């Protein structure tokens, strides 16, 4: 039985990855901040030496994008150098490593979807910390999977879908941007695709999102329609109307070119959102 370590195992994606790996008959050790701080290289190295995994999947990250903008050094320490610690420790025990990255390594200035080897230019401090992670992992462990994704949602924790539905139910006015475009991605689908990618043994850079693309406004409209809130109005606004500490890339759609070439694709985002709303709408 192959052994796996999943960091950030208590997070939204980490939980799904642990479950998907166990369903695929992996012996999984899931760790989170209370059991392993990935910024502590000595501790990471000891754990990897003790377990000697075949694969390490780094889901640990500081995902508060606005928080990263306020404290970019912490973002680098956790997202950038923490990821490098995991990659070095995995290399020392001849383990492959999966690094979860983001569409925000791109600046979102091109209208065409980004392919895996398009030039990166981070949109903000969060994106820069993720780009630092990518480069660090590639530099220290040749057996790497860099997996970029976007706009993750799941039933636990805070997510865009719950925010929209909660606002609609409470009668709060909805104002959603029309000029931020990417792809909503269901963690269930992403975790399944990650296990298939690991099992392929095809190292490299991959884009894994649900299929298609939409604006935040279109995303919100689809959520409300799936929940039966067809008459709930949404006021369209722009990013300039919604000031925040971090500036997201305006058009950072990811093209799944590499994974599709080996037969790994995810269903379209509309179907994924509809399934989620049916099962988990508050």
Is residue 135 classed exposed, middle or buried when 0-12, 13-18 and 19+ CB atoms within 10 A define those classes? middle
DSSP characters over 153-200: E-SSS--HHHHHHHHHHTT---EEESS-EE--EEHHHHHHHHHHHHHH
Q: Is 25 exposed, middle or buried (0-12, 13-18, 19+ CB in 10 A)?
A: exposed
Task: Tell me, yes or no, if 114 is annotated catalytic.
Answer: no
The Cα–Cα gap between 205 and 179 comes to 27
DSSP classification of residue 130: H
Structure tokens at 192: 């399944």
Cα(208)–Cα(220) distance, integer angstroms = 21
**Selected catalytic residue, list 114, 126, 186, 206:** 126
CB 56 within 8 A of CB 194: no
Please state, in angstroms and as integers, the Cα–Cα distance from residue 155 to each residue in 167, 168, 216, following that order.
16, 17, 19
H or E segment to which residue 84 belongs: helix 82-92
Query: Which SS3 state, helix, strand or coil, does residue 258 take?
Result: helix
Burial of 94 (0-12, 13-18, 19+ CB in 10 A): exposed
Give the catalytic positions in this structure.
126
């Amino acid at each position: 039985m192959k052994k796996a370590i999943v960091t950030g195992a208590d997070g939204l994606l980490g939980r799904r990855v642990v479950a998907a790996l166990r369903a695929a008959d992996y012996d999984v050790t899931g760790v989170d901040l209370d059991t392993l701080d990935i910024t502590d290289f000595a501790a990471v190295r000891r754990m990897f030496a003790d377990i000697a995994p075949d694969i390490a999947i780094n889901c640990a990250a500081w995902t508060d994008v606005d928080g990263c903008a306020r404290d970019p050094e912490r973002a680098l320490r956790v997202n950038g150098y923490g990821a490098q610690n995991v990659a070095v420790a995995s290399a020392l025990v001849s383990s492959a490593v999966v690094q979860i990255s983001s569409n925000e390594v791109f600046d979102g200035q091109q209208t065409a979807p980004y392919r895996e080897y398009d030039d990166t230019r981070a949109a903000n401090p969060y994106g820069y910390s993720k780009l630092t992670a990518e480069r660090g992992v590639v530099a220290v462990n040749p057996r790497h999977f860099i997996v970029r994704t976007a706009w993750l949602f799941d039933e636990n924790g805070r997510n865009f879908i719950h925010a929209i539905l909660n606002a609609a139910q409470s009668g709060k006015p909805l104002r959603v941007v029309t000029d931020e475009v990417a792809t909503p991605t269901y963690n269930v689908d992403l975790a399944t695709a990650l296990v298939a990618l690991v099992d392929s043994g095809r190292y490299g850079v991959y884009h894994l999102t649900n299929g298609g693309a939409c604006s935040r406004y279109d995303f919100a409209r689809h959520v409300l329609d799936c929940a039966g809130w067809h008459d709930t109005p949404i006021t369209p606004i722009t990013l300039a109307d919604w000031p925040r500490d971090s500036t997201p890339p305006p058009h950072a759609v990811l093209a799944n070119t590499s994974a599709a070439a080996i037969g790994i694709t995810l269903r379209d985002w509309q179907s994924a959102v509809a399934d989620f709303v049916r099962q988990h709408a508050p």
